[in-house]
Amino acid sequence: MCLAIPGQLLDIKGDDPLLRSGRVSFGGLVKEINLAYTPEAKVDDYVLVHVGFAISIIDEVEAERVFSYLDEIGEIE
């Protein structure tokens, strides 16, 4: 089973669509993520991230729902 985790896009680097990246916050943990699959992503958007790639944009309500589920099963420390 694969799991994509939501995070909030803090900033964006690069002009080349294939090399574009951004810092994404996962509840305080910040990682550099490739944005090639989400060229429409903007700062403050919530993105679903799988193996270092943002694979889609989601709204804040959906992101909070996922965080709630993860908290419920004890995966958020």
| Model pLDDT, residue 23 | 98
Query: Is residue 21 situated within a structural domain?
Result: yes
pLDDT tier at 1 (50, 70, 90 boundaries)? low
- Count structural domains, the chain: 1
Query: Is residue 77 situated within a structural domain?
Result: no
The CATH number of whichever domain residue 35 belongs to comes to 2.30.30.140
Mean pLDDT for the stretch of residues 66-72 = 84
Q: Furthest-apart CA pair in the chain: how many Å? A: 39
Q: Return the closest-CA partner of residue 47 out of 28, 69, 23.
A: 23
> How many other CB atoms are there within 10 angstroms of residue 33's CB atom?
22
CA 56 to chain centre: 8
pLDDT tens figures, 12-66: 999 898 999 999 999 889 999 999 999 999 999 999 999 999 999 999 999 999 8
Q: Which domain holds residue 51?
A: 5-72
Q: Pick the residue with more confidence: 67 or 2?
A: 67
Query: Is residue 40 situated within a structural domain?
Result: yes
